[in-house]
Amino acid sequence: MATVAARELADGEVVFVGIGLPNLACNLARRTHAPNLVLIYESGAVGATPSRLPVSIGDPALVTGSLMVCGMADVFQLFLQNGRIEVGFLGGAQVDRRGSINTTVIGPYQRPKVRLPGSGGAAEIAIHAQRILIVAKLSPRAFPERVDFVTSPGQRVAKVITDKGVLERDAASGELVLAGLYPGVEVAEVRAGVGWPLQSRPRLGRLDPPTSTDLQLLREVLDPQRLYLKS
């Protein structure tokens, strides 16, 4: 997932980075095909070059050696609302047919079954970043027909990178469709992980496995303690 997400980033792009797998993907891209990627963290670090994998979005390693550190009012007003962010990375407990994301509650808002952390910057990132990439593992619970609560609207979602393949938002229908499979994965496996009748592109894209360089960077340099990598 981290390598597939990294390949979605072009050199020189300005990326609003989330914590966890997106952060791993951005730092992998920066060390491989996109050395001029500009990483902006909502904590205020611009052009960060973290020398260790940040556990939190406000890690001190994001500050040391960055190009700029600004207050959060500037992050949201001068960078995000100003339209300076090309790619935004989001995750979520639920992603639905239209690409809307829920990170707020499972169940009704007033009487939640599970109280999740809430928006953070996710609402405004989804509204202002030019292209949204979502990273999430497939399961019918995580991919319902409709989310219980729209934290982030889906209009700008370009792709959803899952553990089995990649979904894209179809411009005409506005819904997520299967666009590519990982090697050895069948279409039925992806459909089984989604709570609506998933449509497919007429021709599915091929998603190459990680190269040996990717694996070495991920396992030995970027996440040696396996904070985010499972294997």
Partner 1 sequence: MSLQDAVARHVRDGDVIVIEGFTHLISFAAGHEIIRQRRRDLTLCRLTPDLIYDQMIAAGCARKLVFSWAGNPGVGSLHAFRRAVEGGTLEIEEYSHFGMVARFSAGAARLPFWTLRDYAGTDLPRANRQIKSVTCPYTGEALATVPALNPDVTIVHAQRADAQGNTQIWGLLGVQKEAAFASQRVIVVVEELVDERVIRSDPNRTLIPAAIVSAVVVEPWGAHPSYAQGYYDRDNDFYVGWETISRDRAELAHYLDEFVYGVQGRAEYMAKQPRLLERLKAGEQRCAGVNYGF
Beta carbons within 8 Å of 8's beta carbon, 6+ residues apart: 25, 87, 133, 158, 159, 161
Among 152, 179, 198, 214, binds partner 1 (CB under 8 A): 152
Whether 42 sits among the annotated catalytic residues: the reply is: yes
Beta sheet of 87-90, edge-to-edge order: 68-69, 45-46, 38-41, 14-17, 87-90, 131-135, 157-161, 165-169, 176-181, 200-206
Give, as one character, the DSSP assignment of residue 91: -
Among 35, 68, 78, 81, binds partner 1 (CB under 8 A): 81
Q: Which residue has the tokens 């990483």?
A: 39
Local structure of 85: helix, strand or coil:
coil
CB of 114 to partner 1, least distance (A): 8
Nearer to partner 1, 100 or 181 (CB): 100
Binding to partner 1 in span 170-189, by CB under 8 A: none
Residues in contact with partner 1, counted by CB under 8 A, come to a total of: 52
Judged by CB under 8 A, does residue 20 bind partner 1? yes
Distance of CA 36 to the CA centre of its chain: 19
Binding piece for partner 1, criterion CB under 8 A, among 73-81, 87-95, 184-192, 197-205: 73-81
Judged by CB under 8 A, does residue 18 bind partner 1? no
Local structure of 70: helix, strand or coil:
coil
CB of 123 to partner 1, least distance (A): 4
CB of 164 to partner 1, least distance (A): 24
The pair of structure tokens assigned to 62 is 């994001």
Binding to partner 1 in span 92-151, by CB under 8 A: 100, 104, 109, 111-124, 127-128, 149-151
Q: Which of 8, 13, 42, 168 is catalytic?
A: 42
CA distances, 125 to each of 19, 22, 90, 172, 190 (Å): 14, 14, 8, 23, 27
Residues that bind partner 1 in the complex, under the rule CB under 8 A: 19-20, 42-45, 54-60, 62-65, 69-73, 76-77, 80-81, 100, 104, 109, 111-124, 127-128, 149-153, 155, 227
Which active-site residues does the annotation give? 42
